[in-house]
């Protein structure tokens, strides 16, 4: 039984719960999360009190809109695919004024410009790539990309053993001493529908609005 799911800003999780018996107290809570010395406060919060009662309305036996007897196929793993490229991107910040960056390794950190002329990253449709995302800031960030899903292959250089396909992943804050926190993501650009220009960014919206965003173009 899973008791705890880490959901970064912009992340989603779907789960089924066993309701406690009558007269037994239960809560759905958000745990306190340490976003680092430069981060926001994310204290313990109660999301819901669970109260089992036979006075409530009867639950319907099927969820509305979900066909009965059709199970979703398990998500295809990206683990066996060979990446065509390895790219490294990193989160960083400057203070006074506060500017937030996501930078392709080897380039100068630059805040996102809505009037961009060229994309930060160009990828060929059909490819699978590995992207290493590092957090070089003293505050947690959340990497998010539009249009596709990725699989977390490694965290801090060690195998993640995580079959989930995601579009958002948490990056804990850098403590200023040890190696930068990192994830290695296997990015799936195989769908023909992916051709076009779109965004990747931190999903903490103040960060995104203050520059932490980049443009990717997928070409034929
Ligand atoms: Cu951020």
d(CA 152, CA 93): 24
Q: 213 C-alpha to center of ligand 1: Å? A: 10
For residue 60, say if its preceding peptide bond is cis, omega within 30 degrees of 0.
Answer: no
> What pLDDT is recorded for position 69?
64
d(CA 57, CA 93): 51
Q: How many CB atoms lie within 10 A of CB 172?
A: 20
> What pLDDT is recorded for position 63?
61
> What pLDDT is recorded for position 75?
64
Residues 216 and 119 sit within 8 Å (Cβ to Cβ): yes
d(CA 118, CA 116): 6
User: pLDDT per residue over 183-214, tens digit each?
Assistant: 999 999 999 999 999 999 999 999 999 999 99
| Termini Cα distance of the chain | 44
The length of the chain, given as a count of residues: 220
Q: 169 C-alpha to center of ligand 1: Å? A: 11
d(CA 144, CA 203): 6
DSSP E strand stretches across 12-65:
26-30, 45-50
Q: 187 C-alpha to center of ligand 1: Å? A: 20
Q: 98 C-alpha to center of ligand 1: Å? A: 12
> What pLDDT is recorded for position 176?
95
> What pLDDT is recorded for position 2?
87
Residues whose CB falls within 8 Å of the CB of residue 174, separated by 6 or more in sequence, listed in order: 36, 135, 136, 137, 138, 180, 181
d(CA 157, CA 155): 5
Neighbours of ion ligand 1 (CB under 5 A): 141, 202, 204, 207
By the 10 Å C-beta count (0-12 exposed, 13-18 middle, 19+ buried), 11 is classed as middle
Mean pLDDT by 10 residues, the chain (220 residues): 92 88 92 95 94 79 61 77 97 93 96 93 97 98 97 98 94 97 97 96 96 97
Q: 140 C-alpha to center of ligand 1: Å? A: 6
The CATH code of the domain at 85-219 is: 2.60.40.420
By the 10 Å C-beta count (0-12 exposed, 13-18 middle, 19+ buried), 157 is classed as exposed
Q: 145 C-alpha to center of ligand 1: Å? A: 13
Residues 164 and 181 sit within 8 Å (Cβ to Cβ): no
């Amino acid at each position: 039984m899973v008791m705890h799911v880490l959901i970064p800003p912009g992340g989603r999780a779907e789960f089924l719960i066993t309701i406690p018996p009558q007269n037994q107290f239960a809560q759905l809570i958000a745990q306190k999360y340490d976003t680092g010395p430069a981060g926001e406060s994310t204290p313990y919060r109660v999301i819901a009190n669970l109260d089992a009662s036979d006075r409530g309305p009867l639950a319907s036996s099927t969820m509305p809109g979900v066909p009965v007897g059709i199970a979703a196929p398990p998500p295809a793993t990206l683990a066996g695919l060979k990446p065509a490229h390895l790219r490294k991107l990193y989160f960083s910040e400057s203070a006074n004024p506060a500017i937030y960056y996501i930078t392709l390794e080897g380039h100068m950190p630059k805040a996102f410009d809505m009037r961009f002329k060229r994309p930060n990253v160009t990828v060929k449709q059909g490819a699978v790539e590995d992207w290493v995302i590092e957090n070089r800031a003293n505050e947690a960030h959340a990497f998010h990309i539009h249009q596709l899903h990725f699989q977390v292959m490694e965290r801090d250089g060690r195998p993640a053993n995580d079959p989930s396909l995601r579009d958002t992943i948490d990056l804990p804050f850098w403590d200023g001493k040890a190696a930068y926190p990192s994830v290695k993501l296997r990015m799936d650009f195989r769908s023909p529908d992916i051709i076009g220009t779109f965004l990747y960014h931190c999903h903490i919206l103040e960060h995104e609005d203050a520059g932490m965003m980049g443009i990717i173009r997928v070409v034929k």
